[in-house]
Amino acid sequence: MKLINATVFPSEEKTIRVDDQLDPDYGGAHSYTFQNALGFKDGKASYDDSYQSIDFVMKRDDGSMMPGVQSEQLVIALIDRTQKLNAKYPSDQNKKMIAGLQMFLDACKERIEDRINRGVMGELKK
């Protein structure tokens, strides 16, 4: 597992790892482990010593599939979560987050439509 060189503001701790051995051709784009957060307290972000993982669906070069979550599923969950939190604690920033996540879903749909139209959807082709 390799640490991703990114942090969640305002923390300076690197809390996300990628399994770059699972799919070296993709640099580990299919399996991530996250250190569980405990929220913001005592003036800083706090993390637990526990972890959870997310595996994304992966089609191997031989055509076999590793089951997993689709990026769109994860983003739909983030939209749902942010909408529910916004209902309780509304803010302009929540609205911006929802709009940005919806833009991601729109781009995913455009990409899929393009791949379907070109006849390469579901295949390991550009």
* Domains in the chain: boundaries: 1-68, 70-119
At 108, is the secondary structure helix, strand, or coil? helix
> pLDDT for 57-82, tens place per residue?
999 889 899 999 999 999 999 999 99
Phi, psi of 55 (to 5 degrees): -105, 135
Q: What is the pLDDT of residue 77?
A: 98
Inter-residue contact 37 to 15 (CB < 8 Å): yes
Q: What pTM did the predictor assign?
A: 0.89
Q: What is the pLDDT of residue 58?
A: 94
CA–CA gap between residue 14 and residue 103 (Å, rounded) = 27
CA–CA gap between residue 119 and residue 98 (Å, rounded) = 32
Would you place residue 96 in the very low, low, confident or very high pLDDT band (cuts 50, 70, 90)?
very high
CA–CA gap between residue 87 and residue 53 (Å, rounded) = 28
Q: What Cα–Cα distance (Å) separates residue 57 from each residue in 9, 25, 32?
A: 28, 15, 12
Nearest to 33 by CA among 12, 47, 54: 54
Q: What is the pLDDT of residue 41?
A: 87
